[in-house]
Chain A
Amino acid sequence: MFFLAMRQMVSRKKQTVLIFLGISFSAMIYVVIAGIQLGMRQYLAEQLLNNTAHIRISGREAFIVPEEIEPRVAGAGELMHWIVPPSGRRDIAKLENPQGWFDRLRHDPVVVDFAPRFSVDAILARGQSKWAVGFVGIEPERQVRVTSLEDYMREGSLLDLRGGGKKMIVGSGVLKQLGARLGEFVSVTLGDGDTYPFKIVGVLHLGSKELDERLVLGYLTDVQQINKTPGRISEISVALVDINQSKRLAAQWALYGSDKVESWEEANAAFMQIIIIQDVVRLVITISILLVAAFGIYNVLSIMINQKQKEIAILRSIGYAPARIMELFLWQGLTMGISGAIFGMLLGLGVNLLVGHIDLGFDIGKGRSLLISYAPSIYSTALLMSVMAAVVASFFPARHASKMTPLDIIRANL
């Protein structure tokens, strides 16, 4: 029947080409939309993972609560009225027992590695320029293993911080704001009057203006020392063997103490919501495009089957059973579905390659163009959906054709 199916398609070139293009177009749109969305998501997820790791353990920020103070001031059970209620943060966030965490993480088999950090607010000064930054003390060797920050180094390496000695790595925006250059010394003050000269040994470029203008990295003990709080840790980033365990483990670890333990999904709930919305949008677009393509196949085959009644009658009288008549039309739907899908996927791939090379004029990650996913799953999904749409859309007309009896048709044409 394949032979006859091909002949019938060739003899209706215009309709065949139209349906073929319809399916190609839907497959292409799917590949392009999925490529861009998933590429963007991959990039965002990578960024998030860089900055937050799989699990982040941080000190809980404690606030002053008037009700907690009342009993101590006024005595139990007495009514008290504040003219100005006390308020504010009790202290900067810090881990209660960093050493306990280190011991635990070091021996836990689900942990690949962890990196402690200590962050303070600082002001950099170079000549007349002053610039407020977040000064983050890290352990370079561990940081390299837990996150991919090293990939975003424009100059130098995270490992240049090793051993301390008042060296720092600054964000590209910080460098610009200060008008400083690599190798120069910049003075750092934490607001307590003391200033310390730090040498710029590297430049970091994350592709995010916010971060690049505010982030400064130093050696952990250097930062602890200028803050006069040796041993203090504000957060620990943890890399897990299995990223999918992060939510469960975070909940479990949170029971160990009062510190805040967040999985990367929880830390980025809003982002996860955007991902879900994107999925829904992609699904809706895909389904509507597929419906249009399927409707086209259905329509054309239905019209054709009406035009081909006589031929169907002849085939039946020659001994072609109903199942073979059905085959005849299924083959046509399937052929257009598969070839259209493959052509559309190639088109989509081409469009993606083009779009992926357009210079957008601003930074996204390491480049200046959209990041596009070429995951095989996108292409297999496109193929599967087009073929399914084609099969379903040709099934009903084909079954209708197979149910026509030769006699009704011959009588109708007398």
Chain B
Amino acid sequence: MTIVARHVIKEFGSSHTRVLHDLDVTIADGEFVSISGRSGAGKSTLLYLLSTLDHPNHGEIIIDGETVRALSVRALHAFRCRHVGFIFQFHYLLPELTALENVLLAPRNVGLLEEKRPQAMALLEQFDIVGEKDKFPAQMSGGQQQRVAIARALIMNPRYIFADEPTGNLDTVNGMKVMQILQEVHRRDRTTIILVTHEPDYAAMASREIDLCDGRLVSDVRRGVS
């Protein structure tokens, strides 16, 4: 169970501005990988490729032995629903739904609403926001909203979690809380986590650090045990 990026090239626009230059990365099951680099280095671009949201111009992304580009729209969405959790810098909660309803969006999509309700409550409890379960996003603080978004990403017990600067919008206290949650999930469930961040402290909390500069891999360091 791996994610493989093979000779991946990504270009944008009609001028074919190259953002990723012939990248080769293999991410093994159960790794906690941080991707760091300066702004504009191509971190987000790489993350979206690895997470099936985008496709490369050349080369291929292979997840669990299957080429992503070859998957049907249906299979792609089923895969995202069952096996992938996304956490973005902006939490993107649906403003019309309460915290609990936001967390249960993915289960609702596949008819597991009632089955997953106890787990959703447990997640909210774990993240210390169970008291906010019936509040709407507008009634919660930024940190609370981001924790709801993380609970939403975790509810289907995904094998992969993709996080694009999840702490970027938070103060240190809340940022640290989010990082601890990710570490805990990684340790407990052996979930593969790929985290984009430009904070060295947070990058150091991962078990493997990838450094990007101008679309090229400049360092790839594995720690023994995190």
Contact = CB atoms under 8 A, between A and B. Distances in A.
Interface residues of A, number: 25
A191 B159 CA distance: 110
Contacts of A316: 77
Interface in B77-94: 77-82, 84, 86, 88-90, 92-94
B62 interface: no
A318 B153 CA distance: 8
Given A3-B108, A413-B90, A317 B53 contact: yes
Contacts of A319: 77-82, 84, 106, 109-110
A173 interface: no
A4 B54 contact: no
B90 A7 contact: no
Interface in A374-414: 405-407, 410, 413-414
A14 to B, nearest CB: 15
Interface in B60-106: 73-74, 77-82, 84, 86, 88-90, 92-97, 105-106
B81 A7 contact: no
B44 interface: yes
Contacts of B73: 321-322
A407 B10 CA distance: 14
A324 interface: yes
A405 to B, nearest CB: 8
A8 interface: yes
Contacts of A317: 53, 80, 84, 86
Nearest to B93: A314
A321 B106 contact: no
A321 B79 CA distance: 11
Given A315-B105, A407-B54, A321 B88 contact: no
Given A318-B109, A414-B44, A7 B97 contact: yes
B96 A7 contact: yes
A4 B109 contact: no
A8 B97 CA distance: 9
A10 to B, nearest CB: 7
B152 interface: yes
Contacts of A10: 96
A310 B89 CA distance: 12
Nearest to A322: B73
Contacts of A7: 96-97
A311 interface: yes
Given A318-B80, A319-B77, A4 B96 contact: yes
B48 interface: yes
A313 interface: yes
B85 to A, nearest CB: 9
A253 to B, nearest CB: 68
B152 A410 contact: no
Contacts of A405: 53
Interface residues of B, number: 29
A319 B80 CA distance: 5
B96 A320 contact: no
A410 B81 contact: no
A77 B42 CA distance: 111
Contact of A311 (B53, B77, B81, B92): B92
A11 B101 CA distance: 15
A318 B110 CA distance: 11
B151 to A, nearest CB: 13
> Which one of A10, A313, A406, A410 has the highest number of Cβ atoms from chain B below 10 Å of its Cβ?
A410
A19 B82 CA distance: 38
B53 A407 contact: yes
Interface string A9-24: 0110000000000000
A283 B145 CA distance: 53
A321 B94 contact: no
A3 B90 CA distance: 24
Contacts of A8: 96
Interface string A311-337: 101111111111010000000000000
A22 B165 CA distance: 45
A310 B92 contact: yes
Contacts of A322: 73
> Which one of A3, A317, A321 has the highest number of Cβ atoms from chain B below 10 Å of its Cβ?
A317
Contacts of A324: 109
Contacts of A3: 108
Contacts of B110: 319
B108 A314 contact: no
Interface in B18-59: 44, 48, 53-54
A414 B39 CA distance: 12
A318 B94 contact: no
B128 to A, nearest CB: 23
Contacts of B77: 316, 319-321
A313 B92 contact: yes
A319 B90 CA distance: 18
Contact of B53 (A11, A315, A406): A406
Given A319-B81, A414-B44, 14 more contacts: A7-B97, A11-B96, A310-B90, A310-B92, A314-B92, A314-B94, A315-B94, A315-B105, A317-B80, A318-B105, A319-B110, A324-B109, A405-B53, A410-B88
Nearest 6 interchain pairs by C-beta: A319-B81, A7-B96, A319-B80, A321-B77, A11-B96, A314-B92
Interface of A: 3-4, 7-8, 10-11, 310-311, 313-322, 324, 405-407, 410, 413-414
9 contacts: A3-B108, A311-B92, A318-B105, A318-B109, A319-B82, A320-B81, A407-B53, A410-B48, A413-B90
Interface of B: 44, 48, 53-54, 73-74, 77-82, 84, 86, 88-90, 92-97, 105-106, 108-110, 152
